[in-house]
Amino acid sequence: DAKTTQPTSMDCAEGRAANLPCNHSTISGNEYVYWYRQIHSQGPQYIIHGLKNNETNEMASLIITEDRKSSTLILPHATLRDTAVYYCIVRVAGGTSYGKLTFGQGTILTVHP
């Protein structure tokens, strides 16, 4: 699986947009970019995923660069409840190992009043 690099921590003011970057320069053409978050003492929560087009859902937007070597997760109006560890994951497509998500250290996002 391609390796991802994320900043260790970020701060964001409540109500502002939170932009979380992720570098995945070795991504292969058939690998998806997934984002999960983990609030303390809870299970990872799926946020969004994409292949090469930008994606948006009720939680967030995902912007993937044209060369697919990096992406940005955008939480448009961060709230205190968005404080969590955010994981950017590149997922192998197909085969018996496609269920194996490799979680790195993630980005600790702290939303403050």
Partner 1 sequence: NAGVMQNPRHLVRRRGQEARLRCSPMKGHSHVYWYRQLPEEGLKFMVYLQKENIIDESGMPKERFSAEFPKEGPSILRIQQVVRGDSAAYFCASSDGQGNFGNTIYFGEGSWLTVV
Residues 71-110 that bind partner 1 (CB under 8 A): 91, 93-94, 96-106
Does residue 44 belong to the site contacting partner 1 (CB under 8 A)?
yes
Q: How many residues bind partner 1 (CB under 8 A)?
A: 26
Question: Each residue of 59-74: b (16+ CB within 10 Å) or e?
Answer: ebbbbbeeebebbebb
Max CA pair span of the chain:
45
Q: Which of 51, 54, 56, 77 binds partner 1 (CB under 8 A)?
A: 51
Q: Strand, helix or coil at 36? A: strand
Residues 6+ apart with CB under 8 A from 50: 32, 33, 62, 64, 71
Does residue 39 belong to the site contacting partner 1 (CB under 8 A)?
no
Question: Closest approach of Cβ 113 to partner 1, in Å?
Answer: 27
Does residue 5 belong to the site contacting partner 1 (CB under 8 A)?
no
Between CA 49 and CA 63 the distance in angstroms is 10
Chain residues in the site for partner 1 (CB under 8 A):
30, 32, 34, 36, 38, 42-46, 49, 51, 91, 93-94, 96-106
